[in-house]
Structure 1
Amino acid sequence: MIILLLFGSALVSGSEIAYFSLGPNEQKLLQEENSLTSKRIIGLLEKPRRLLATILILNNTINIAIVLLANHLMGSLFSDAFFTRISQQTVDLVGGAGIHFNLDGTAIFFKIFFTVVLVTFILVLFGEITPKIYANIHNIRLARFMASPLNVLSNVLSPASSFFVNFSKGLEKRLARNRQVSLKADIDHAIELTVRQDPSSDEEVDMLKSIVKFSEVSVTQVMRSRLDVVAVDEQISYKELLKIVKDSGFSRLPVYEEDLDHIQGILYVKDLLQHLHEGEDFAWQNLVRNDVLYTPESRKINELLKDFQSRKLHMAIVVDEFGGTLGLATLEDIMEEVIGDIRDEFDDKEELEYIQLDD
């Protein structure tokens, strides 16, 4: 029975190396075969965490069974008198040094010690090292052989493996979060050291700190609030629209119906350039673009930046959980989070300081 269990332990242990050593080229060959066995192998590899959990559960269960049977077998092969004699010899040997042992306790210790040493040697040699060396050389062969058993056992042990997979994911997220915090603290410390060495690099330091914290900033921290949003009602005249465009200085304006909770699209000011000669009854609403990007308030600005890149847009409407408009965020808002305020000719002019140059 122990031999069968040891053989099973070797197969399961070798399977771990066999499956997880299959490279992209080997997996591609298996996919091209399109056989039932190759499909099972690919199916197992598609859920690597579940496969690993199944292998570990099987391997540990078999090894525990081997230890229990080995302990029973050790008791059958060697009587208690055998371990008692060894204990007596040990007690007599160290007794002269003034050290005293309990004879019965020492006998039990030697029995457990011999069992652990013997089983560990056998398991490591025949249940770990040998099968893993074989699996590393013949990974596809062993993967084929174990495809059906692992497929069945993976389904049977699904509840247990799912528990361990979810537990490991939670632990991994927690450890990764702690590591991320530690890493950012180290980076901040390195930046502070830079400041001490070169006090003139304050702007660069602020930029570096902003980059480090970039993925932690939410959209609500950079957006223009609803009260500050400049938008146009789709019912206003063309003359009124041009006045709003002139006064605001923005290149893009949200267009709404009734209120800001009903955004109909975005008006690009450059689309108006070729229609500046039109009269007051010009149907400017036909120029409104309906490709509107909505983003939840909890979204991080690094994710919104990816949305801007993929959608090729520069403006997003920030909404709450009920779909109401909270404000808007632009590509410029995100860039300012890193490099600071970006001012143009339409921003409030600061008082300039004039200095007379020498002749």
Structure 2
Amino acid sequence: MIIRKVESRPFTIKLKTPFKNSNIEITKREGLIIKITEEYGNIGYGEVSPLPGLSEESLEDIVPIVKDLERKMTGSELDSDIFQSLKKYPSVEFGVSQALHSIFILRDGLNPKWNMISTISVNGIIGMVSHDDALKRARQLTDEGFQTIKIKVGRDNIEDDIKLVKSISENLNSSINYRLDVNGKWDVDKTIYAVEQFEGINIEYLEQPVSNIEELKELAKISKIPIAADESIRNMDDVKRFLTESNIQYFVIKPSLMGSITETINLLNLIQAAKRRVIISSAFESSIGRSALVFLASLVQNNSAHGLAVASYFSSDIAEDDYPIMNGKISFD
């Protein structure tokens, strides 16, 4: 395939209100939108938007990398080795891969090996906010039809987390499913204590309760509530290690921070073959980046809800959302 032209343009999207977890605060999302045109005029778009506090690379790092790619790829035969040079910059690899993947689908159609589902469940999310605001948000999410709610925890005083989760569960329908995302802020003792306090609450999993990988593996053995890995997963080797060395049942994957779309598909297949569960999770991408996440979520065969409900936090977006969430689900043809 001959690449006729590669272009990029910057974007900035402000959030209506800051989104906080126990480690970072997001007030806006910045990045680049890549546009690739191939020899027959087919066009693909991809998003490059490293997330401060989670991505290893910064926006300042990737701008010259993308500009260099524009020069190297324009007018050239597509070289698969291009991805090897991007391994240090997963957000760039994701954006280029997304754009090319879109072109391949336009040219060749959907891969018949992809067993895509037509309806995706999505979890609502509550950031690190006050008790009253969290309860208000929880009620709003259930009114909007969400059956799974992810709550950011990991406050300085664990009793505040416990009080909040109990309050939300007591005020909502008993059928609601909860996920608690600690972002690595607890230790083993705090996690065990919290698990005891949450007895009787419908908690699907604790996400990254500790930052230490060995402690995470140990908790997966002893916790009565299943453990999910998130920040500890950044590539295929991490996944293989957890599959062979731990009893972790849930893998929270942020594709835009991991790199190649093709490698992410292989990763999803690997996890599902091991009878573990995959959650595709947004890193607050624009509608362009989220479209790739919806595609990846459609390849996951379990019925778990995915973490894609971030559009409502944006004051605007760079394109119309082709995959709106209705009653906690995304449906498409």
TM-score range, shorter chain: under 0.3
TM-score normalized by the length of structure 1? 0.22
Greater relative contact order, per chain length (Cα 8 Å cut-off, separation 6+)? 2
More helix by share: 1
TM-score normalized by the length of structure 2? 0.23
Which structure: larger Rg? 1
More strand by share: 2
